[in-house]
Amino acid sequence: MSSVVCRNLLPAEVPLLGPGFAEGLASGGFDLSRTWVALRDGVIVARAAWVLPPDSVGDPWLERFDLDDSPETGAALLTAAHQALGGPYPFYAVLPVAANVAEAARLAGLVPTVERHRFRWTGPAPAAAERAPAGGGVRAAAGAHAGDGVRAATGEEAGELVARIPEPDVLTGSETARTVAGLDLAHNPVPWVTGPAAAWHVLDDESDGGGVAGTAGDACWPMLVYLGVLPGAAPGARERLLAASLRALAEGGAEEVIADVVSTRTETIADLEAAGFHQIRARLAFEPRDRSGTVS
């Protein structure tokens, strides 16, 4: 079998990666120094591009990895790039993942960890639409789902509640927050909730439970950044926090709302779908494994 050459992408080869990659180059997320290809007999058979948003404080992640060859070729490409870039770094693969791509990632020291689904809301669910007041649209739907028992909260109060929640139900853009600002959204989401429609919502409950949700209007898209309920929260706590969050974003001008959920949280996914969200993407995270065998 002929040998494989791994190197950086050349400027003349940029069109080979499509318009989306060219747009990423223009915005500064992609860079030729972080884009590698593998060639067999002069023909590109694998492409890998790591993204790092401008002014980020963290490390890049592998955003695009296409492979038209064996897993060993893909692993050789990733390994060569890792050595040059100081990696390995996480790979967030859009599902479904081709078998040769998954095996190449594994051979290069990346381990599949968690599957996240992205949902988008652009209006009411069918049942909600019947209850929405005249005028329709996103704002009307949000008003029809007002979150009873939910009130505004300060960032300090929200942070105290976050510290008491073992695992949030919704955590949107966690990879970007980690890279751009060095923030772990599961434990420190307050600094990430900024800009238009930025708000924290607290559910006060007579039981020992309750919950908290945070929204942001300009973190790439209007999004539900964080939503979590405390152990012992009353039934319907998630739905009430979700309703208050949608209302805040819609009143801030949002025409759509994004939310990320781990695939195993089926009850949360059902709540989102009942509110009119629909799935638009699924990703599987491959994380680096260090020499001790621990996933970092």
Domains annotated for the chain, with CATH where assigned, are: 4-108 (3.40.630.30), 117-282 (3.40.630)
Cα distance between residue 121 and residue 168, in whole Å: 19
pLDDT at 145: 40
pLDDT at 206: 53
270 neighbors 117 (Cβ within 8 angstroms) = no
pLDDT at 293: 45
pLDDT at 126: 43
Return the bridge partners of 67, or none. Answer: 46
pLDDT at 123: 73
- At residue 273, the 3 state secondary structure works out as helix
pLDDT at 296: 54
pLDDT at 198: 81
Q: What are phi and psi of 272, to 5 degrees?
A: -65, -45
Cα distance between residue 76 and residue 35, in whole Å: 14
Encode the chain (296 residues) as per-residue pLDDT tens digits: 688 999 999 999 999 998 889 999 999 999 999 999 999 999 999 999 999 999 999 999 999 999 999 999 999 999 999 999 998 999 999 999 999 999 999 999 999 999 999 999 987 654 443 444 333 333 344 444 445 678 888 888 899 999 999 999 999 999 999 999 999 999 999 998 887 778 899 987 655 458 999 998 766 778 999 999 998 887 788 999 999 999 988 888 888 999 999 999 999 999 999 999 999 999 999 999 864 345 55
What count of residues does the chain have?
Answer: 296
